[in-house]
Structure 1
Amino acid sequence: MKKVAIELTNVSRKFISPEGKVTLALKDFSLTVNEGDFCAIVGPTGCGKSTTLGMITGLNPPSSGSVKVFGKPVVGIDPNIGFVFQADAVFPWKNVIDNVSIGPIFRGKDPKTAREMAGEWVRRVGLSGFEYHFPHQLSGGMRKRVALAQTFINEPKILLMDEPFSALDVQTRALMQDELLGLWSEKKASVVFVTHDIEEAIALGDRVVVLSKGPGMVKSSYEIPLTRPRDVSEARYSSEFIHLSKQIWSDLKDEVQI
């Protein structure tokens, strides 16, 4: 039986503006993610998807309820957690190999060892030959490969992803989704993947959680029966995929209609 990696129980989160206005982002929200599971979260803008990730990292403590990681309350930043953002979190003044090696260096590895590790990860994400290129010399998809290498090199036990591929074109997005699944299948980190894209959620996840409009609550949850290893492009044409997409959209459309 799998152990619980992430557990949010009856969580609510309030934000107060400088003018004193109170906004309730999440209300009585509960979520459990087991070790090695890939959980995708979809929902309308402003439903608290990114807030959920912030609470797991410890950056946004809940106003009420509890957040636990591996059975312990979240206090501060956990080094076992990796985060891939929508925007590229790369240093523009550093080349690829230096960007990838910076994480291990901050965690105490000597620079030579860190660069050797970075060289291996640069190869694994398909960027051999681009080690000494700078971010402005790379395409959007290549920068995302750098971001994946930056994250996976630290071998996180939990991987949080906030719409990491939303800015990419359709073809590049599909390639990066396959790349992500390939890397994840090797290490089996527990993943929480936030997206607006229903098809992306189904293609990647073991489970898709649908949130209501803000304040966000769990509206529904779907187990994804698609087999692994999974080819993202081919999976989209299966009858199971199409049926799930229709079901999830049925749940979601009432939340996004004005």
Structure 2
Amino acid sequence: MMRRVAIELKNVSRQFISPAGKVTLALRDFSLTVNEGDFCVIVGPTGCGKSTTLGMITGLNPPSTGTVEVFGKPVTGIDPDIGFVFQADAVFPWKNVLDNVAVGPIYRGKPAAQAREMAAHWVRRVGLAGFEHHFPHQLSGGMRKRVALAQTFINEPKILLMDEPFSALDVQTRALMQDELLGLWSEKKASVVFVTHDIEEAIALGDRVVVLSKGPGSVKCSYDIGLPRPRDVSTARYTGEFIDLSRKIWSDLKDEVQI
């Protein structure tokens, strides 16, 4: 069955100009297609344009050349169907868990009572029942990431962009959050673009891993991940196929990160 294209970047380049007038080219002749429901992971060295790619999809950083389309339409501004999970916690420190999760629906026009009811469901869904009235400073890093996932999924995004969301977590908590993310994604099937430096994380999560060259970034290679779904992160990484993919992707990536 043919699936429609959710995200398409065609031969885009993006340059930035510093206050001193210095021009930096972050991406050059970069193309990427993500079909509806796909989980695409981008890996690459620091400064290769991974986060810039996400910014172009959201409309925050329009390309200098080339085109960006979402569901066949040019990106001209912020799209409410796009959810974004950042590396840093995007929570309001003065709001408790329930009110943090309810912010999105309220902003989109839902009555406060309905928004809080929706938020209560999502707080339970991400395993935070009993912590509804806790504030962010009272939560662990993993719990704050669960709040961030609830904040995002409550709005039912058709496209989910994630910029190294689990990089600050310890190894055990990261594995738990990866499984949590896959569980939520398998229910909603948003089209995902996930940025990471971690090859194992990329293979564990993705349908496809795209490797970028060092900056200015362009696509060096792409790998289809054939590991079966539903996928258990903690066991998948010990399979022969996983180890072989990790070896191949590192072989392609190491030339880009060596000085």
| TM-score normalised to structure 1 length | 1.00
SS at match of 1:192: strand
SS at match of 1:23: strand
Match of 2:157 in 1: 156
Structure 1 residue 102, shift from structure 2 partner: 0.4
1:116 aligns to 2:117 (yes or no): yes
Question: What is the CA deviation profile of residues 38-59 of structure 1, one whole-angstrom value per residue up to 9, with x for unaligned ones?
Answer: 0000000000000000000000
- 1:193 is matched with 194
Measure how far apart 1:118 and its partner are.
0.1
Q: Which amino acid aligns with 1:113?
A: Q
3-state secondary structure, aligned to 2:129: coil
Q: Kindly provide the CA deviation profile for residues 67-120 of structure 1, in whole angstroms up to 9, marking residues without a partner as x.
A: 000000001100000000000000000000000000000000000000000000
SS at match of 2:118: helix
**Which residue does the alignment assign to 1:203?**
204
Q: How many residues align?
A: 258
Residues of 2 paired with 1:41 and 1:76: CA distance? 23
Counterparts of 2:230 and 2:76, CA distance in 1: 35
SS of the equivalent of 1:133 reads coil
The residue aligned with 1:135 is 136
Residue number in structure 2 paired with 1:31:
32
Q: Secondary structure at the match of 1:148?
A: helix
Cα distance in structure 1, aligned partners of 2:103 and 2:30: 35
1:130-177 CA distances to partner (integer Å, 9 max, x unpaired)?
Answer: 000000000000000000000000000000000000000000000000
Distance, in Å, in 2 between the alignment partners of 1:113 and 1:41 is 37
2:127 is the alignment partner of 1:126: yes
**Do residues 91 (structure 1) and 96 (structure 2) align?**
no
Alignment match, 1:104: 105
**Using the alignment, how far apart are the partners of 1:76 and 1:205 within structure 2?**
27
- Alignment deviations for residues 198-219 of structure 1 (CA, whole Å, 9 cap, x no partner): 0000000000000000000000
Equivalents in 2 of 1:74, 1:239: separation in Å?
Answer: 41
Secondary structure of 1:30's aligned partner: strand
With normalisation by structure 2, the TM-score equals 1.00
Distance 1:234 1:32 in 2: 29
User: Which whole-Å CA distance do the structure 1 matches of 2:241 and 2:11 have between them?
Assistant: 32
- Whether 2:16 is the aligned partner of 1:9: answer no
Partner of 1:55: 56
Q: Kindly report structure 1 stretches of 4+ aligned residues shifted beyond 2 Å.
A: none
Query: Which residue identity lines up with residue 32 of structure 1 in the other structure?
Result: T
For the residue of structure 2 that corresponds to 1:193, the secondary structure is strand
Please give the alpha-carbon distance, in whole angstroms, between the structure 1 residues aligned to 2:3 and 2:210. Answer: 19
Aligned to 1:229: 230
Aligned to 2:179: 178
Report the Cα distance in structure 1 between the residues aligned to 2:64 and 2:219, rounded to whole angstroms: 18
- Which residue is equivalent to 1:75? 76
Alpha-carbon distance, 1:181 to partner: 0.1
2-structure distance, mates of 1:56, 1:256: 25
**Distance (whole Å) between structure 1 residues aligned to residue 232 and residue 163 of structure 2:** 22
SS of the residue corresponding to residue 76 of structure 1 reads: coil
Q: CA deviation at 1:11?
A: 0.2
Gaps in structure 2 of 5+ consecutive residues? none
Task: Give the residue type in structure 1 aligned to 2:96.
Answer: N
